[in-house]
């Protein structure tokens, strides 16, 4: 028979949970049970891989300490890993003994949390050990307490050895009907491989770097697309240019959402369009890429955009109104 112990405390010398699991280990080893202990505080970077240690066990002991509230973060991470990466078929055959010691209120609640979690995972929880310990020295030297722990170890052994059946509970029905995992269905082998990737800091870091690189690449592609769109604006302006005799003016139109400024310079019958800066333009306007697109498609006018507030402008307002005479776009 093989039993694993998963300890979710901080490993402090005065932690009474350590005394209890040491006592349980001694009794179980005396009756020839192979006991392996995993200290979760030592396995922080590989907790996601621990579900694979459940593959060949008959029972487990989940032991934690209530220092202020609940089962603690490390134990929660382990249970999360069992839900995400554990072999649910194998978990359904594993007996679990909860052990919760507390130096504050809440040991019964924490024990119940472990029981409910194991039931949700499909496993078989057994009656556990929970206690409030005010003085760990007094607790560890009490013979009556020691006998209770020893009897619990023997009872846990008999439960596993005899493969005792448990009455059905509603948590199992909830798991089957409501708590279906919405993620991709994986085989146990694929889940184990995924857990290895998740726990590999180098792999995770490389994935993040790849994502950042892809993000940068797509941003550059998007920026390039915006520039191409800007070239369309220049082409539309040139194609729909209708010069006025002896009219000279300049416009600087900032596209605020793409942070580019379209400069239009008119010198009699000459037209020059480019992206750049011209702080001394006769009309300095601000609008969006979408509004400029509507303008060159003939869906709105320059003055109409200004009057509606889609475009703001300052400078020579006579020159502003003349824009619609010089550029006459066909409605598309």
Identify the CATH number of the domain in which residue 285 sits. Answer: 3.30.1050.10
Long-range contacts of 305-311, Cβ-Cβ distance < 8 Å, separation of 24 or more: 311/285, 311/286, 311/287
User: Where does the pLDDT of residue 281 fall: very low under 50, low under 70, confident under 90, or very high at 90 and above?
Assistant: very high
CA distance linking residue 52 with residue 59, whole number of Å: 14
Q: Does 259 lie in the same domain as 110?
A: no
Residue with more model confidence, 183 or 317: 317
Give one DSSP letter per residue of 69-80, joined into a string: SSS-HHHHHHHH
Q: Does 261 lie in the same domain as 146?
A: no
Q: Evaluate whether 9 touches 78 at the Cβ level (below 8 Å).
A: no
Q: Does 194 lie in the same domain as 235?
A: no
CA distance linking residue 59 with residue 44, whole number of Å: 22
Q: Does residue 182 sit within a domain? A: yes
Number of domains in the chain: 2
Q: What is the share, in percent, of the chain residues with pLDDT greater than 90?
A: 68
Q: Phi, psi (5° rounding) for residue 138?
A: -65, -40
Residue 232 has pLDDT above 80, yes or no: no
Q: Does 146 lie in the same domain as 33?
A: yes
Instruction: Tell me which of 198-202, 265-269, 315-319 is least confident.
Output: 198-202
Mean pLDDT of 157-168: 93
User: Where does the pLDDT of residue 225 fall: very low under 50, low under 70, confident under 90, or very high at 90 and above?
Assistant: very low
Q: Does 184 lie in the same domain as 266?
A: no
Mean pLDDT of 53-69: 96
Mean pLDDT of 110-121: 95
User: Where does the pLDDT of residue 227 fall: very low under 50, low under 70, confident under 90, or very high at 90 and above?
Assistant: very low
Q: Does residue 213 sit within a domain? A: no
pLDDT in tens, 183-210: 455 666 666 666 666 666 666 677 777 7
Residue 128 has pLDDT above 80, yes or no: yes
Q: Does 192 lie in the same domain as 98?
A: yes
Q: Does 274 lie in the same domain as 173?
A: no
User: Where does the pLDDT of residue 76 fall: very low under 50, low under 70, confident under 90, or very high at 90 and above?
Assistant: very high
For the beta carbon of residue 284, count every other beta carbon within 10 angstroms.
18
For residue 244, the enclosing domain spans 229-326
Q: Does 270 lie in the same domain as 128?
A: no
């Amino acid at each position: 028979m093989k039993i694993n112990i998963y300890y979710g405390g901080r490993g402090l010398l005065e932690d009474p949970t350590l005394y209890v699991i040491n006592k349980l280990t001694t009794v179980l080893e005396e009756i020839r049970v192979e006991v392996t202990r995993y200290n979760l505080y030592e396995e922080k970077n590989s907790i996601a891989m621990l579900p694979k240690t459940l593959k060949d066990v008959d029972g487990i002991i989940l032991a934690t300490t209530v220092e202020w509230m609940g089962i603690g973060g490390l134990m929660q991470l382990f249970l999360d890993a069992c839900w995400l990466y554990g072999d649910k078929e194998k978990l359904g055959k594993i007996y679990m003994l909860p052990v919760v010691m507390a130096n504050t209120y809440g040991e019964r609640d924490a024990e119940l949390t472990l029981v409910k979690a194991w039931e949700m995972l499909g496993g078989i929880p057994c009656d556990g050990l929970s206690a409030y310990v005010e003085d760990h020295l007094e607790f560890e030297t009490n013979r009556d307490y020691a006998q209770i722990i020893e009897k619990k170890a023997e009872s846990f052994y008999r439960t596993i050895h005899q493969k005792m059946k448990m009455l059905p509970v509603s948590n199992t029905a909830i798991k089957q009907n409501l708590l279906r995992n919405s993620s991709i269905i994986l085989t146990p082998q694929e889940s184990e491989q995924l857990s290895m990737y998740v726990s590999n800091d180098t792999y995770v870091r490389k994935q993040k770097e790849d994502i950042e690189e892809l993000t940068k690449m797509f941003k550059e592609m998007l920026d390039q697309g915006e520039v191409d769109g800007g070239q369309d604006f220049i082409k539309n302006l040139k194609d729909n240019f209708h010069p006025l005799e002896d009219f000279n003016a300049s416009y600087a139109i900032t596209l605020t959402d793409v942070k580019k400024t379209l400069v239009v310079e008119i010198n009699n019958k000459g037209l020059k369009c480019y992206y750049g800066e011209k702080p001394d333009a006769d009309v300095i306007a601000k609008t969006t890429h979408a509004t400029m697109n509507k303008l060159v498609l003939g869906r709105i006018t320059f003055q109409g955009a200004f009057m509606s507030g889609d475009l703001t402008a300052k400078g020579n307002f006579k020159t502003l109104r003349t824009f619609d005479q010089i550029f006459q776009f066909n409605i598309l």
